[in-house]
């Protein structure tokens, strides 16, 4: 008698034949081949456009000017620096000075122009007053009184200012623990001759100061002395309170806007602002908070170093942008004016890369096979470009995103999503190693070492804790070095750099729309809604 053999079951009583089972097995086999095919078709590396910054400054020279700009802007209220002089500091490479054409055409003996004489005088006076007012040593106060008065009465004569500073330094040589510490100015440009008058007294250093750029090392050292004073420490403490107050104001404004959305919706019988419009208004507040947070930072630092040793710099937004951001958070949206321009800050202005807070500055050599700006390709050949490190800039948000993706793919660190984190402008980025309270920005040669090879990348601590742990604090960042003593970033630091680039690109795109020159074009392309449409 024949016995019925039950067929293999799959789902709830459904049966398949052996033939169907074999077919099913056959259909599963190509999956491995499909995966292999997907792996074989690798995504090509993005190629951001590298544009040379028009400057002959080396890394340390530019860093010193960046350091001065960031410090003076951060403590401008304490130093009593006017908005006009703050605006001059936006151009790191400077403009034509009083004594002739722009200096610095590649000659090693020349000094590239900087700010105006009244600007540098205002900065020096502010620093001297802060340092002098913070000392309890009466001997120092007596010695400093007359030289500071001489600086104040010097007009716009830079050499008279230096004569007074040299006299102050000479008078304090016998005073122990003097708070006034600064070197000699840079030598005058070889291509420029100066004629002294009978009223000009030569110093013991026999240096004539006729260009503000010569005083960069002097101003930088005075800032370091000022940062140790009680006045600046109190300003930093106030910054911590301002940070808390700002966060509270943001929360209140977000709540107010959400209530306004609901009110408009009820008045419009269910037809209030669209989701895109609501998100845009809230995003405006978030970006405004990022800009305003620049008023609360402790110390400025480069954002990070990539796997081939290049250093990346984001300068904080200008005073005008910070004030406009605070107004936006307070519910009074206003158009941002850059350098009192009527027509706004245009794409042509950004392409010139004169204002360093409007692009990502990179020090180093471009990678092999990099795409150079058409102008740079005409002026330089490939061998010259790759020969020595120099300054490069990325002023378009899309190009900055390409750079972030290029680093991520080159280092194989995985997909790094932007977090829209306000830590970037508050100095708390993992990429920069936290708040640099110990070492002065740009004052140590160790911050300018040569690039490290890709083979020295470290995976350490990658999975040993959360990203919020301070394993890469200000003391440990970049302490890993290769056999030649060059700093090697960890993969966590690289992820921080990539995330910071994404965040900065988003913020920059928002800032571009806000300054007016490209507002209509950028607003249309990004679906942006004018914030003032809902602010009341």
Nearest to 438 by CA among 410, 399, 478: 478
Q: What is the pLDDT of residue 456?
A: 40
Is the confidence at residue 380, as pLDDT, over 80? no
The least confident of 57-61, 102-106, 220-224, 355-359 is 102-106
Is the confidence at residue 445, as pLDDT, over 90? no
Q: What is the pLDDT of residues 239-285, one digit of tens each?
A: 999 999 999 999 999 999 999 998 888 887 667 788 899 999 999 99
In DSSP terms, 234 is beta-bridged to: none
Task: Write down the residue that tokens 């990502």 correspond to.
Answer: 360
H/E segment holding residue 394 = strand 390-394
Q: What is the pLDDT of residue 3?
A: 52
E-only strand ranges, 223-351 = 304-305, 311-313
Is the confidence at residue 95, as pLDDT, over 60? no
Q: CA–CA separation, 14 vs 354, rounded Å?
A: 73
H/E segment holding residue 363 = strand 360-364
Q: What is the pLDDT of residues 401-436, one digit of tens each?
A: 999 999 999 988 877 766 554 443 333 333 332 222
Q: How far apart are the first and last CA of the chain?
A: 92
* Beta pairing class for 390-394 and 360-364: antiparallel
Average pLDDT (2-20) is 51
Q: CA–CA separation, 114 vs 103, rounded Å?
A: 9
Highest-confidence segment of 100-104, 233-237, 265-269, 380-384: 233-237
What DSSP character marks residue 110? -
| Mean pLDDT taken over the chain | 76
Q: What is the pLDDT of residues 447-479, one digit of tens each?
A: 333 332 233 444 444 444 444 444 444 434 445
Q: What is the pLDDT of residue 502?
A: 96
pTM of the model: 0.78
In DSSP terms, 272 is beta-bridged to: none
């Amino acid at each position: 008698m024949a016995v019925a053999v039950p067929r293999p079951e799959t789902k709830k009583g459904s049966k398949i034949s052996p033939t169907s089972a074999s077919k099913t097995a056959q259909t599963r086999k190509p999956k491995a081949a499909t995966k292999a095919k997907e792996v074989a078709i690798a995504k090509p590396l993005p190629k951001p456009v590298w544009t040379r910054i028009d400057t002959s400054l080396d890394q340390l020279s530019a860093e010193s000017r960046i350091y001065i700009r960031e410090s003076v802007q951060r403590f401008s209220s304490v130093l009593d620096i006017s908005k006009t002089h703050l605006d001059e500091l936006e151009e790191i490479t400077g403009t034509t000075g009083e004594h002739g054409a722009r200096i610095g055409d590649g000659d090693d003996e020349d000094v590239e122009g900087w700010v105006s004489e009244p600007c540098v005088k205002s900065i020096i006076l502010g620093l001297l007053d802060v340092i002098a007012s913070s000392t309890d040593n009466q001997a120092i106060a007596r010695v400093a009184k007359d030289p500071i008065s001489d600086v104040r009465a010097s007009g716009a004569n830079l050499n008279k200012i230096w004569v007074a500073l040299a006299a102050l330094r000479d008078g304090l040589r016998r005073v122990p623990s003097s708070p006034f510490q600064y070197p000699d100015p840079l030598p005058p440009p070889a291509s420029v001759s100066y004629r002294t008058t009978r009223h000009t007294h030569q110093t013991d250093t026999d240096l004539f100061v006729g260009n503000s750029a010569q005083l960069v090392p002097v101003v930088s050292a005075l800032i370091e002395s000022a940062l140790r004073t009680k006045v600046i420490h109190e300003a930093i403490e106030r910054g911590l309170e301002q940070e808390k107050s700002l966060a509270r104001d943001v929360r209140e404004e977000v709540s107010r806007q959400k209530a306004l959305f609901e009110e408009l919706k009820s008045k419009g019988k269910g037809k209030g602002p669209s989701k895109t419009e609501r998100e845009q208004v809230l995003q405006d507040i978030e970006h405004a908070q990022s800009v305003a947070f620049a008023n609360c930072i402790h110390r400025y630092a480069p954002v990070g170093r990539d796997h081939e040793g290049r250093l990346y710099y984001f300068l904080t937004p200008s005073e005008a942008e910070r004030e406009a951001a605070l107004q936006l958070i307070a519910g009074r949206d206003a158009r941002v004016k850059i350098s009192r321009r009527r027509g706004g800050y245009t794409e042509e202005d950004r392409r010139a890369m004169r204002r360093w807070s409007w692009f990502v500055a990179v020090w180093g050599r471009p990678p092999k096979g990099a795409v150079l700006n058409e102008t740079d390709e005409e002026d330089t050949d490939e061998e010259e470009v790759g020969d020595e490190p120099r300054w490069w800039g990325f002023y378009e948000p899309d190009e900055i995103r390409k750079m972030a993706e290029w680093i991520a793919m080159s280092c194989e660190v995985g997909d790094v999503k932007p977090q829209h984190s306000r830590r970037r402008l508050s100095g708390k980025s993992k990429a920069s190693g936290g708040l640099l309270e110990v070492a002065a920005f740009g004052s140590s040669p160790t911050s300018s070492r040569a690039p490290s090879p890709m083979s020295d990348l470290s995976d350490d601590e990658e999975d040993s804790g959360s990203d919020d742990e301070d394993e890469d604090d200000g003391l440990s960042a970049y302490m890993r070095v290769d056999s030649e003593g060059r700093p090697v970033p960890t993969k966590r630091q690289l992820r921080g750099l990539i995330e910071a680039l994404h965040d900065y690109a988003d913020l920059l795109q928002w800032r571009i729309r806000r300054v007016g020159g490209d507002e209509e074009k950028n607003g249309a392309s990004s679906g942006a809604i004018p914030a003032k449409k809902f602010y009341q």
